[in-house]
Structure 1
Amino acid sequence: MIDFTYRNSRPIEPEFHSHTFYEVYYFHEGICNYLIGDKVYALAPGDLIVMYGMTLHCSKIDPSVPYVRSIIHFEPSFVKPYTELPNALNILLPFEQLRNYRIRLQGEQKERMEAMLEAMNGHKQRGGQISDNRLTLAFVDMLYFIYDQCMLPMKDKADAVSSKERAVQDIVTALESCYTDDLHLEQLEDKLHLTKSYLSKIFKEVTGVTIFQYVYRRRINEAKILFLLQPDLSVTEAGIRLGFKHLAHFSRMFKQQTGMSPEEFKKTGGYQFEASRTIALKKVQRQDNPDLEP
């Protein structure tokens, strides 16, 4: 599932948000300070940012000049099969290891990136099954390009990763195996041998969201994938599979994150997702309750 916006020049209002899908952001032109967590990047044309999404981020622009950017949002589970092919590399590693990283592209590398974005847009505009598949393959090729650009910083990161980041990665790994369960922090406490207060503190500090906010968003993203891959799956069955005890709770959380109800998402096949994403992200920031448990 790829949501691709090419050379968007629509003005925006600065607002911090986060999401569980990964993001590739390319800055074409304008004046922009990009805030990701506690870091501020003064962008220049050719800047490419890889983001794993969960860290709160926000772009602050100068509205007096055009702000042009290309953005790709994608579910890591959509790309994962391409990492399991013979001799394949883990092209998700830059997002998983660097989490949020700015690459300054110049000269030939800048031209290559812009040519890849233009080619992807051509496939998107043509539409149809062949073009959709070529769009996916072009994006996978772009991820290999990004991986190549990130090899050195990934090596440095592996040497310098903090104990907090390691612990948060352990939390995410543990959650992946139990996010559909009737989850309690005591389970993570027992599994990771860290107090639940410490787990909660460092997770929020590193990612910008609470553990249970992450769990809800992970569940809803999985629900979207289930509805796209299994269109006959009922909303009730999906909610049960993903650990929601009450259908109303599932429907409410789904709408907060996607801007539409599960039934609407199923009817449209998710085609309205891109148009509703901005609204949904704003709703999540206003309505998420960190004290709720699944």
Structure 2
Amino acid sequence: MRPPFHIRPLEAHYSENGTSMKFHSHTHFELYYFHGGKANYLIGDKIFVLSPGDLILMHGMTLHCPNVDTSVPYRRTIVHFDPAFIKPFTEAPFAINVLQPFYEMKNVRLHLEGTARIEVEAMLEKMCRLSFEDGALSRDRLIVAFLDLMLLVYERCQSSDAPPVFPSDKERHAQNIIDFVEEHYHEDLHLEQLEERLHLNKYYLSKLFKEVTGATIFDYVYHRRINQSKIHFVLDRDMSVTDVCYKVGFKHPSHFTRMFKSRVGCTPEQFRKQAAFT
């Protein structure tokens, strides 16, 4: 079984693969840059309708998933990094804590234009190339390039307070559904509750949510519960599997175990034991 925490401490990867992805989370932080295509990105309790030049900062443990229109060419670059690996570069003699935006803003989108966009794309291209080269020199150059990028990101975050923009009512309604789920995911949920809360037909809500996010409403609810259980296993290590099961909204431990394993690849108990050694 593959350990649930395995990833290199710093890597950059460019892709033109527009295949669908499932909801996921990880202990590493992430920078996601959207070069082009047509996609929405669901991160935690927010939907981002992407435009070329969007740079997203993600706290990895937040549930996230892109919904890509595969009929349109899709290009993106992802940078994963372990904050513990980067932390020594945030302390004296360095003056700026480049991790601060990830801890304080958690998940935020920056839109880049003009020279800033050209500069960031050149940095990302360099990092992708260095990520696939062997040797200590390439590794050190990758770290330096990454820190340069992070300083630019830090600077941009100081002036970023743009609210989410939705091109149509469908995205806005999907966001309202996510807001409701975020507030009530640990409760016994029914579509009738959404129908009453949003004053829209439950079948219409189900259809538009699937169209915008690529997932059904209850698939999202289950992923949200599983992701929250992973957070409890990492942060609340005295909690038993049964306690976590009920806390995140499952009624039966057997159902929780089955759903957890199908999405994470191991049982809750195996994940809990693995988390104790990280």
- Which TM-score band (shorter chain)? 0.5 to 0.7
TM-score by structure 2 length?
A: 0.59
Q: Is the 8 A contact 2:20 2:66 kept in 1?
A: no
Quick one: distance in 2 between partners of 1:183 and 1:168?
A: 16
Post-superposition offset of 1:73: 8.6
Quick one: distance in 1 between partners of 2:198 and 2:208?
A: 13
Deviations 1:62-121 (A, max 9, x none): xxxxx99543399xxxx99943xxxxxx463428xxxxx897965544466679999xxx
Post-superposition offset of 1:2: 11
Q: Does 1:24 align with 2:28?
A: no
Quick one: distance in 1 between partners of 2:219 and 2:81?
A: 19
Aligned to 2:79: 71
Quick one: distance in 2 between partners of 1:19 and 1:232?
A: 27
SS of residue matched to 2:109: helix
Which of the residues 160, 169, 177 maps onto 2:175? 169
SS of residue matched to 2:207: helix
Quick one: distance in 2 between partners of 1:192 and 1:267?
A: 41
2:31 aligned partner, one-letter code: V
Instruction: Identify the structure with the greater helix proportion.
Output: 1
Q: Is the 8 A contact 1:94 1:147 kept in 2?
A: no
Aligned to 1:269: 275
2:32 aligned partner, one-letter code: Y
Matched residue pairs, number? 221
Greater RCO between the two (CA within 8 Å, min separation 6)?
Answer: 2
Quick one: distance in 1 between partners of 2:70 and 2:112?
A: 14
Q: Does 1:223 align with 2:219?
A: no
Post-superposition offset of 1:146: 6.3
Deviations 1:196-220 (A, max 9, x none): 1121111111111000000001011
SS of residue matched to 2:22: coil
Q: Is the 8 A contact 2:22 2:65 kept in 1?
A: yes
Unaligned runs of 5+ in 2: 41-49, 83-99, 131-135, 141-146
Taking only aligned residues, the RMSD between alpha carbons, in angstroms, comes to: 4.9
Quick one: distance in 2 between partners of 1:194 and 1:68?
A: 35
SS of residue matched to 1:54: strand
TM-score by structure 1 length?
A: 0.56
Quick one: distance in 1 between partners of 2:156 and 2:180?
A: 27
Quick one: distance in 2 between partners of 1:197 and 1:163?
A: 16
SS of residue matched to 2:32: strand
Q: Does 1:6 align with 2:17?
A: no
Deviations 1:259-288 (A, max 9, x none): 11111111111879xxxxxxxxxxxxxxxx
Aligned to 1:249: 255
1:219 aligned partner, one-letter code: R
Q: Is the 8 A contact 2:123 2:149 kept in 1?
A: no
Aligned to 1:54: 65
Change (3 A) 1:268 1:239: same
Q: Is the 8 A contact 2:67 2:212 kept in 1?
A: no
